[in-house]
Amino acid sequence: MATAGKNLSQYNREEIPSAEDLKIGLVVSQWNSEITEALYQGAFNTLVECGAITKNVIRWNVPGSFELVFGCKKMIAGHSPDVVIAIGSVIRGETKHFDFVCEAAAQGIKDLNVLTDTPVIFCVLTDDNWQQAKDRSGGIHGNKGTEAAIAAIQMAHL
């Protein structure tokens, strides 16, 4: 397991560039909202801790992880952020729906990174069960939202 023995929330603030001058978009899926809200809080708190000005952090909600790509595309077109974080959670169920949504979200976010000059950070948990999602959204493995915020700051400074 990639996160076994690793806490996603651990970083050295001294090694992270300031987010003070950045305009940052967060596009958040409302599906599995307990998880996505925790991811959002991890990202938002980390951005602020790293100097982001709250009025420069724009949040949009979309219905689910499948809709993240369109939300990110519209965020880029409408607000010209320095970076966007796509926050979602897909938990495996009994059908292949999980595979289709995960693939579409991953490929769509990759496509935005190829087609635009605005980095889009993949903060979509793709877990087998609810406990894995909780463990990675503020549980024993920390918060993937924190990790995404650090990646966003670093990518915006490229």
pLDDT tens for 39-88 read 999 999 999 999 999 999 999 999 999 999 999 999 999 999 999 999 99
The DSSP element (H or E) to which 36 belongs, if any, is helix 33-49
Residue 112 lies in a domain: yes
CATH code for position 135: 3.40.50.960
Pairing of strands 57-62, 120-127: unpaired
DSSP code per residue over 110-133: HHHHHHSSS-EEEEEEEESSHHHH
Cα–Cα dist 85/109, whole Å? 10
* Domains held by the chain: number: 1
83-123 pLDDT, tens digit per residue, is 999 999 999 988 888 889 999 999 999 999 999 999 999 99
Residue 150 lies in a domain: yes
Residue 97 lies in a domain: yes
Residue 19 lies in a domain: no
Catalytic residue numbers read 97
Q: What residues make up the domain containing 131?
A: 33-156
Pairing of strands 24-29, 57-62: parallel
Structure tokens at 49: 């801790």
Residue 63 lies in a domain: yes
Residue 20 lies in a domain: no
Q: Say which DSSP state 30 is in.
A: -
Residue 5 lies in a domain: no
What sign does the dihedral 62-52-23-123 (CA atoms) show?
Answer: negative
Residue given tokens 């809200």 in the structure block: 37
User: What are 125's strand-pairing partners?
Assistant: 89
> What's the pLDDT band for 6 if we cut at 50, 70, 90?
low
pLDDT at 144: 95
- Supply the pTM of this predicted model: 0.93
Residue 6 lies in a domain: no
> What's the pLDDT band for 127 if we cut at 50, 70, 90?
very high
